[in-house]
Each structure stands twice: as structure tokens, then as C-alpha cells.
Chains A and B, each alone.
Chain A
């Protein structure tokens, strides 16, 4: 296993600031809050830099810190965001339970509509979609960030996209 090197660690950390900020911005909904959140996350990452294993995915490691920091603040009532959580003991959905999706996305879908629809998803679903489709993390990496099993990621991601499509169909009707 390569030895941790602080300089190399910091150099690599710097390359993920944009991604971390974007994720934080989607989590918090505000630029100042996102900047503050990433600031804290970077400080935490630096404080625990020697826990990072060189050669592993720093991006998902940093995103995990960002989301944990966000959730801690959320519990303290710092943010007013749509943070619906999944119910306890939720039975994992199977792919079949979703059924076919007959809806088509609106032709000429606009960024503002997509952003608005994403913004209305509960935080956990929004995070799943963003990590999978915007940041293109693997299912295993997403499981690490969200701190849930891979199987749960798959079923929840499936449902989140389904819900997103429903919301986007609503924009077309509007």
C-alpha cells in the first residue's frame, strides 16, 4: 500500500473542489451555505488526511465528508431544505415493481426545468441522481457516499429517476 503523502494529498484534494462545491450547492441550495459547507469539509479532510488511502477514490471520500457535514448541520437545524428521508424498514423495491415507464421526457427540455425538478426531489434521492448521473460515480462509490448498501443504491436510484421523470412530465404539461 502506498504511503500517505500530505503534499500529494492536498494537490489531489484541490482538484475536487469544484465537484464538492457543486454537490454542496445542490445539497444546500445556496452559494454561501455551499461555500461554508465545503470549507468545513476541506478542513475536516485535512484534519484526517492520514486516514485517506492513496490510490482510492478521493472524490467519493470528499463527497462523503461533504454529505456528513451537511447532515450534521441539517440535524442542528441550520438548513431549511427538503430533506425527506426514507421510512424505516422500507422494503427495497425491485426493478419490476416500478413497471414500464410510458412517459417521454419533454422535447426541448430546459435546464431551468430540470434544475427545478431536481430541486424538488427529497435530498437523498437528489443526491443519488446527482452522484450517479452528474458526477458519474460507480454504484459502489455512491454506496460509500450515501452510507447504504449497493443494492439499496440501485433500487433507490431507480425510483429517484422514475420520480424525476414524473416531475419533468409535469413541466411539459405546465
Chain B
């Protein structure tokens, strides 16, 4: 059918869409233009084509940031079988032991047996450590600049985590990821200490009734298998640092992570 008589306007529109996007058969465009001209509607349709061409030729095309590309690439890397080398030190055994350890008895506790709020946060930190370890690419952002990572978190977790430790010669900042604890988004910073993964989780204290009641500053640590988890609170944030690291070392690091005048109860 080439004539416009008896043809629904939508048919013309569909054909015109194909024409202006180069999806028409040869000769179809000219035939269509003749039809439209006979119907006195060519200018109207050309105006549509002009707007489409302006968008196609001028509208900004935003390139995906490298972090997003890396994330997408990591989804397919290894077909789901391989684990990121960054976490190789964790090992499958530790990951498996963590599955069993979540909620298990806390074996080491410098400040006495931690209260319920501390245990709840430690449990979430353990789970977050485990989740990160099981990801092929644990970092969602590989930026290593602390200020940049803090800005990166703001739109993702609705707060800017207050952290004062950009890393040093012994402990490097490797990236960050958004974690989930009790259904609340939390900020996880990924460090490495002497090649061993360390996860710092920053919780908004108001995020859960279990967290709100946590006392200010008190620092506790617990050890389960190869994993040490420390927990402390500073104002509106609760921090948890977890890794296969001696508790004393975690304590030193914790002092660097929160403001310099921080004094831990112990």
C-alpha cells in the first residue's frame, strides 16, 4: 500500500519513524514523502525528523565511568568460578568458617564480654567481611583517595562516613563498597594490612534500634577462628574493623580511623 487514503495516521507515523532512523527499504522514503506532500502534511513530518536529527547529532552521550565498567566486567570474569586475587589471602576455608561463625560465640574480648549491641554489630561486620570476600571484585570503587571515597559514599548511603585514615606504608586503602546490615546501607572501606584484607564498616548509629543504644566510644574486640572483629562508637557513627589481624593492631588502626583525640575505653 502506497497511498495515504484510507491509511491510519499511525501507519504513516510508523513508516516515518523507520525512514528517519534509516530502517526503511530503498525507495520507501521518497514514496512516503510524496504521499505526505499530497496529503499536505510533509512539513509536519519533516519537523519531527529535524528534531530527531538534532537529538541524534547533538545530545550529550555520557560515557560510563571506569568503576562501573570494571564492575560490569567483574560480573563476567571467570564465569563465576574465580575469586579476586585481592581476597585470595582470605581463602575458601576462612570464608566457609565465617558462614559457621556468624552468630557464634565470641572467643576473645579485651573489654569483657561485649554487650548485645556490640555483638550485633560484630555479627554484621563479619557477614560483610564474608560477602566482600566472596565477591569476584569486592571493590565497587577502586579509588584510593580517602576524600574521594567519602564523597563517593554520600549519594549511595545517604551519609558521608567520617574516617581519618587514608592508609600508610603498612596499611593501604584499596577501595570501597556499599554494604548492607539489617537492611540498612553501610559504608565499607577496604584496606590491606601486610597483604591481608581488612574491612572497615561504618554504620549510621540511628540506622537500627540495636545500634542506637550502643555506648559512646567503648571499644571491644572478638576473635573467631582467624578473624578478629573490633567495634566502637564515635558520635553518630559506629565503626567495625575486621580482619585476620592481631587485636592490638586493630586497636592501633582504630585510633587512626576516628579523630586523633579519640580515647578508647578498654
Contact A136 B21 (CB under 8 A): yes
Smallest Cβ distance from B130 to chain A, in angstroms? Answer: 18
- Given known pairs A35-B67, A105-B51, the reply for A100 and B56 (CB within 8 Å) is no
Contact B48 A114 (CB under 8 A): no
- Given known pairs A39-B71, A154-B10, the reply for A7 and B76 (CB within 8 Å) is yes
Contact A134 B10 (CB under 8 A): no
Contact A94 B9 (CB under 8 A): yes
In the bound complex, CA of A154 to CA of B18 (Å): 12
Indicate which residue in A17, A129, A165 contacts B69 across the interface (CB closer than 8 Å).
A17
> In residues 1-57 of chain B, which contact A (Cβ within 8 Å)?
9-10, 12-14, 17, 21, 23, 41, 43-44, 47-48, 50-56
**Which of A25-33, A51-59, A64-72, A81-89 has 4 or more CB atoms under 8 Å from chain B?**
A25-33
Contact B68 A130 (CB under 8 A): no
Q: Is A148 an interface residue (CB 8 A)?
A: no
- Given known pairs A21-B68, A109-B54, the reply for A114 and B59 (CB within 8 Å) is yes
Residues of chain B within 8 A (CB-CB) of A33 are 155
Contact A139 B17 (CB under 8 A): yes
Contact B68 A13 (CB under 8 A): no
Main secondary structure of the interface of B (DSSP, over half): helix
Residues of chain B within 8 A (CB-CB) of A48 are none
Q: Is B108 an interface residue (CB 8 A)?
A: no
In the bound complex, CA of A25 to CA of B64 (Å): 9
Count chain B residues whose beta carbon lies closer than 8 angstroms to a beta carbon of A. Answer: 43
Indicate which residue in A6, A14, A25 contacts B79 across the interface (CB closer than 8 Å).
A6
Residues of chain B within 8 A (CB-CB) of A74 are none
Smallest Cβ distance from A1 to chain B, in angstroms? Answer: 22
Q: Is A101 an interface residue (CB 8 A)?
A: yes
Contact B55 A164 (CB under 8 A): yes
Smallest Cβ distance from B11 to chain A, in angstroms? Answer: 10
Contact B72 A158 (CB under 8 A): no
Smallest Cβ distance from B52 to chain A, in angstroms? Answer: 4
Residue of A at shortest CB range from B69?
A17
Contact B68 A38 (CB under 8 A): yes
Contact B75 A46 (CB under 8 A): yes
Residues of chain B within 8 A (CB-CB) of A168 are 51, 54
Contact B155 A136 (CB under 8 A): no
Indicate which residue in A35, A36, A133 contacts B56 across the interface (CB closer than 8 Å).
A133
Known: A95-B13, A158-B13. 6 other contacts (CB 8 A): A18-B61, A21-B68, A36-B156, A118-B55, A162-B51, A164-B51
The 5 listed contacts between A and B (C-beta, < 8 Å) are: A34-B62, A95-B44, A115-B59, A132-B52, A154-B13
Residues of B within 8 A of A (CB): 9-10, 12-14, 17, 21, 23, 41, 43-44, 47-48, 50-56, 58-65, 67-69, 71-73, 75-76, 79-80, 140, 152, 154-156
